[in-house]
Amino acid sequence: MVTTGAEQPDFWQHGVPLLLVALAGCVSGSVPAARPAPRPIPRVEPTPPRVEPTPPRVGPTPIVHNDPEIRVGLVTGASGVTVGGSDAVVVNQPDGSRIITIPAGETWQLSPAGARITLRSPGGWTSVPYDAMALAASGPSATLRVNGRFYRGLLDILRDSTGLTVVNRVGMEAYLLGVVSAEMGRRNFAEQPALEAQAVVSRTFALRNLGKWKARGFDLTAGVSDQVYAGAGAETPEGRSAVRQTRGQIVTYDGAPIEAFFYSTCGGHTADGYEVFRGARRPYLRSIADRAEDGSDYCSISPRYRWHEEWTDASLRATLERNLPPVAGVPGKDVRQVRDIRVARRTSSGRVDQLAIALGGPEIRVNGLAIRQVLRPLSGELLRSNAFILSATGAGERVTHLTADGMGAGHGVGFCQWGAVGRARAGQGYEQILAAYFPGTRVVRRY
């Protein structure tokens, strides 16, 4: 994303073929007469009871006319994956042939076996290797479990170049149930328009990006590189209501879905699209002052509205030794002493666009979003945003202390999630909120 799209707030891209799994006949239990029955599971001695995750309380999977299917890459390159379900789980081959049924509540292990995949029961039974597998819950309201998390829809298990890929195939509206609350957290009734705005933004993002990762067998990832999808376990009543109330609605410009960028906190001023994403010069991705009539910033309620980071001589050298090589190609051993570090250029919205670092030779220039990687704090997270003021003690000879006083979290283009909450609290509806962050756009019902 964008992410974010995206960046998860506390709120803040190959070659596997697409699977078309015929599961309708599989769930009924029919097996072609000429196909041998699966090997039976051997009897084993009882083992101590296993404590399994409690399935979330979810309603029936939403049924929406013309609701498009989306394929989400939950896991890639995994050396092993655990699966199960809140009800019995039917395991099939891609052509729909039954392999076996996993009893309700049990956890089974999927593993790579050469270029294929095997399934192992808790008692030790192991399947013959298969090219791929497809899993379906046997009940209409049941969920599937992958590595302890519950999901609606179907699962495709694929063999990739380094391990296993797990793809969740699910209807768009059911997918959004696992996105909205994961992105926005729990909100109260007065803040519901912010959740509704997020639902429309996330639906727009997903529709525009269908097929983004097609070469890898799915459309979107489940993390912040696209938008956060945490499955059925992340659903909340407020999130379900927001998805239901905005069913099928997307943000459009000239009749097409927009590039729906979003992030956590703008810090009081959003960024022009081209400031951050060089190809995103769009009329609706322009900088705005995110300010209320009383002069306060709508996102001032965010815990990341203002922030502070600092580095000593030693910690700054350690930070640059670790982060400069992959970004600027500078060997870590060359970071013996930091003579200077300064802001060389800012964008029209005041964000740092170029950082100049002097290590003894010619200045090293770091641009755009890479700045947040180079100044990544010791916590391992990206620097919260490019909107900051830098102050260096000893600049010109030897930097002994560096501070960054910043504003907001995320790239700053488009939809500000905490700003949306502030606008909702001020009485704005979701369409008014979306019009503010994407000027000149329209909200339309696509299905």
Reported as a single tens digit per residue, the pLDDT across 354-403 is 999 999 888 999 999 999 999 998 888 999 999 999 999 999 899 999 99
Tell me: the pLDDT tens digits for 222-233?
999 999 999 999
What is the reported pLDDT for 346? 97
Tell me: the pLDDT tens digits for 162-190?
999 999 999 999 999 999 999 999 999 89
Global confidence as pTM: 0.85
Q: Give the dihedral sign, CA 226/150/84/140.
A: negative
Is the pLDDT confidence value at 422 over 70? yes
What is the reported pLDDT for 333? 84
Residue 399's CB: how many other CB atoms inside 10 A? 23
What is the reported pLDDT for 37? 44
What is the reported pLDDT for 49? 41
What is the reported pLDDT for 63? 56
What is the reported pLDDT for 106? 97
Report percent pLDDT > 70 for the chain: 86
Looking at residues 194-211, what average pLDDT do you find?
Answer: 98
What is the reported pLDDT for 140? 80
What is the reported pLDDT for 33? 40
Confidence of residue 40 (pLDDT cuts 50, 70, 90): very low
Confidence of residue 65 (pLDDT cuts 50, 70, 90): low
Is the pLDDT confidence value at 31 over 50? no
**What is the C-alpha to C-alpha distance for residues 301 and 265, in angstroms, rounded to an integer?**
10
Sequence-ordered list of residues with C-beta below 8 angstroms from that of 1, at least 6 positions apart, any chain: 7, 205, 224, 225, 226, 227, 261, 262
Is the pLDDT confidence value at 57 over 70? no
Is the pLDDT confidence value at 320 over 90? yes
Structure tokens at 218: 């799915």
Confidence of residue 64 (pLDDT cuts 50, 70, 90): low
Confidence of residue 13 (pLDDT cuts 50, 70, 90): very low
Tell me: the pLDDT tens digits for 90-112?
999 999 999 999 999 999 999 99
